[in-house]
Structure 1
């Protein structure tokens, strides 16, 4: 439990801070040992929706790894870092870890209680770091992996954010035009009793349909999304295979899956995790079931004694992947080779994102230009005809 306290010390100076203890009585007792006498002490509770961001975790682990590299003991390193933590949930976790260390537990054991924040694999890597006396460097490598993965996710989100925002804004404007502007102009055309061009009649018909059936249209869209969600759950493998066949986006999904797998496998092997455990952990990062099943078959073959490169080749992975893995096996530097391979996929993803932006922006602009152009023409044609009659 984490307690916030207001207190005075032996000299009568005011003090405020946090202390972790199993009970209120233990917190008061611990403060008394430090000659601090609480005036007010309150248990800090996590907010209902409190969460720890990836960036907070990455920054904490990078700094922790650095301090451990500088030969500062774990308890002291946590004391230094907790003063700079603003996230309440993360602060509580650090206080609890420090308390466990004071109780005589290892750092790996203390971190196991906070897998919901730091992940299931960090305690395993910390345990290896404790055994090999490379704790600081291993935590820093893990933080670097998280940072690179987070940067990649941010780039993909940023690449999709602008086109998505443009489309949503454009459809909102089109809805306003079709539901409010066009009906008003249609009244003018109806009053003139002039023969309307086919394009204008079509525009008015669409406008009337949207105005009268907006609830039905929304229902259809929700039904489509619900159907796709159902299909995804029931036929996950076929759905994921179809995703890989999508133009432009399919290749991006494929590259992202391979980047996650090979970068994490490289990290695990670099930290001296045995191959069986390393490949199992790397498979957990795959979200596309079609690729995951292919890699699972690779894993089973490797565990039966088939060389990794050969198993990849039998599952029809790219020749470049198979060749680089073979080089890693022959030189006994598989972890370094896989690291180079993950860097290659990272570069390819960045190239694909750049291409995506170059393609999507003009494509969306052209599409919207055609739609708006047709609306303008449909409105202007009868107006021009009416002016000619006058």
Structure 2
């Protein structure tokens, strides 16, 4: 059975055209376009719109291992197609395996390493594509791959630390929700039968509890569908600039979480920009890449404005004055580094400082969340217990 492929290509008149074709394989799709005398700029497998919302990028942990092994083999003198064929047999992630397979085909057609991976730029970080482009120009592919591996490893370690710190609070939350659902679905109905038999007037709290229990038992499928629709709407919202800005602003202003998010943004900004500048990529191009990888639309907006001001002749550090993301300490350090010609070193120091700050903030946040969650669970269970026993106490008094 064939699959759909979307493409962008040059026609014989030198015009860019976009289209969609059906083919039994990636190679077949390429061959079909070649028979039409088209020069392929980009081709990738088409996805359904809703499914595309849930398509993830390749994990940085997988990319770190991939780049490290690629660097070793490239440094040993193996040809690029040979390196990638070996990696195809070692890569576990099916998405990365497919990308590697397509890259081998592209390289064998005579395309550059950048062009080979650019065909799947939606699943790969812009940092990888731009660093490969810089490596081609400088002739230092193995060194660039080592730097990329270090960068992806650092990013993966930070994500693991965040997950580890928040694992217990998340486990408590999930456990509490499951316990409450069990009480509402299985325990409360037993008492509802007792209350119905007595015919006694029920307190408002008990009536609310019974209404929630009835809703869960009788309309659980509707609730699941609504939950799914909310997730889909949020995914769509993330792709709309207006709503993405709103969601990111809310996230940055959340107590506790906002400071962690800001620290992650600044750390990623400093580390990525330093890496790009060390690879010989000019400041404006580097900022454009950072803008795409920063992970927050507000920060991306500020970096875009910064690039515009730099083009008008302003100093880099001055363009970030008054930022909602980057504090005065960061802009001050950038100004010093810019004037001294040591911007990369200053960026490394900023990245290191905020990496440590994020780790400490995560520990503080986790320690704060635990008692709050326990208190919240206690209040919720207490409300359920009180709502059940209040009518029983009233019934006991009536019988006496």
Quickly say closer, same or farther: Cα 1:221–1:367, change in 2 above 3 A: farther
Bigger CA drift: 261-270 or 96-105?
A: 96-105
1:156 corresponds in structure 2 to: 162
Quickly say closer, same or farther: Cα 1:207–1:101, change in 2 above 3 A: closer
Counterparts of 1:41-190 in structure 2 under 5 Å?
A: 53-54=58-59, 55-87=61-93, 90-91=96-97, 93-98=99-104, 100-101=106-107, 105-188=111-194
Contact 1:68 1:136 in 2 (8 A): yes
Unaligned runs of 5+ in 2: 1-24, 29-44
Aligned with 2:251 (options 212, 229, 243): 243
Contact 2:321 2:328 in 1 (8 A): yes
Equivalenced residues, count: 347
Q: 1:127-150, CA deviations, whole angstroms, 9 ceiling, x for partnerless residues? A: 432333322111111122222223
Secondary structure of 1:115's counterpart equals coil
CA distance in 1, matches of 2:379, 2:353: 39
Aligned with 1:370 (options 365, 368, 379): 379
Aligned with 2:215 (options 213, 216, 224): 213
2:279 corresponds in structure 1 to: 271
Counterparts of 1:189-204 in structure 2 under 5 Å?
A: 201-204=203-206
Secondary structure of 2:203's counterpart equals helix
1:326 maps to 2:328: no
Higher alpha-carbon Rg: 1
What is the deviation of 1:218? 3.6
Quickly say closer, same or farther: Cα 1:221–1:79, change in 2 above 3 A: closer
1:261 corresponds in structure 2 to: 269
Contact 1:68 1:135 in 2 (8 A): yes
Contact 1:259 1:342 in 2 (8 A): yes
CA distance in 2, matches of 1:89, 1:226: 23
Quickly say closer, same or farther: Cα 1:245–1:73, change in 2 above 3 A: same
1:4 corresponds in structure 2 to: none
What is the deviation of 1:154? 3.6
Query: TM-score normalized by structure 1?
Result: 0.72
1:27 corresponds in structure 2 to: none
Contact 2:203 2:390 in 1 (8 A): no
Cα RMSD, aligned residues only:
4.1
Contact 2:57 2:124 in 1 (8 A): no
CA distance in 1, matches of 2:141, 2:57: 23
CA distance in 2, matches of 1:339, 1:150: 18
Query: TM-score normalized by structure 2?
Result: 0.71
CA distance in 2, matches of 1:246, 1:342: 23
2:346 corresponds in structure 1 to: 337
1:313 maps to 2:321: yes
Quickly say closer, same or farther: Cα 1:378–1:52, change in 2 above 3 A: closer
CA distance in 2, matches of 1:203, 1:240: 36
Bigger CA drift: 248-257 or 215-224?
A: 215-224
Q: 1:263-319, CA deviations, whole angstroms, 9 ceiling, x for partnerless residues? A: 221111111101111101111123433332222222222222211122222546312
1:355 maps to 2:373: no
What is the deviation of 1:256? 2.3
1:294 corresponds in structure 2 to: 302
CA distance in 2, matches of 1:21, 1:350: 44
What is the deviation of 1:158? 4.2
Q: 1:50-82, CA deviations, whole angstroms, 9 ceiling, x for partnerless residues? A: 988423332111111123334555355445444
Bigger CA drift: 169-178 or 138-147?
A: 169-178
